[in-house]
Amino acid sequence: MTRLIIIISIILLAYGCSKEDENILNNYFLSEIVGFDYNCSTCILSFPNDSLIIKQEIGPSEGNFYNTINLHYNDSLTINQKVLVKLRKPKEDEIRVCITLYPTVTNRSIYIVDYKLAK
C-alpha cells in the first residue's frame, strides 16, 4: 500500500511540474516588420494575411501592430522585411520595463517562440 501511495505521489508530482505551454499558436504566421520600438530595442510587427486569427488568439491591438518582447532589431532585421513567426501571448514576468527616451509604443505585446526569414 505504501508503494502505491509513493508511486501515485511521484506521478502526480511529475504531472503537476510539467510546464507545457498551451498558448503557443502552432502555425507560422507571415508578418511584416513595420517599425522598431527603440525604448526596448524590439520590432513592431503587422500580420497582413492573418490579422483576424491574431486578433482572436492574442487580442486586438492599436492599428493591428504588435510589439515583440524578444525579437530585437539588432538581429539584422529591417523595416518592410517579411518574417514567418510562431508566437504566443506573453507571460506577466516576461514583459520588461524599458527606457523612455523615445515615443512610447502602446501596442499589445507578443512573445516570439521561433522565427524564419520569409523568402
Number of domains in the chain: 1
Domain that holds residue 60: 21-117
Residue 7 inside a domain? The answer is no
User: Can you tell me the distance from the alpha carbon of 87 to that of 83, in angstroms, rounded to the nearest whole number?
Assistant: 12
Under a CB-based contact definition with an 8 Å cutoff, are residues 44 and 107 in contact? yes
Residue 97 inside a domain? The answer is yes
Length of the chain, please? 119
As given in the structure block, the three cell numbers for residue 46 are 503587422
Under a CB-based contact definition with an 8 Å cutoff, are residues 24 and 36 in contact? no
pLDDT at 105: 78
Residue 62 inside a domain? The answer is yes
Left if phi > 0, otherwise alpha if psi is -120 to 50, otherwise beta: which for 6? alpha
Tens-digit pLDDT profile for the chain (119 aa)? Answer: 788 788 877 777 666 654 555 567 788 999 999 999 999 889 999 998 887 888 888 899 988 999 999 998 876 889 999 999 999 999 888 887 888 888 877 889 999 999 999 87
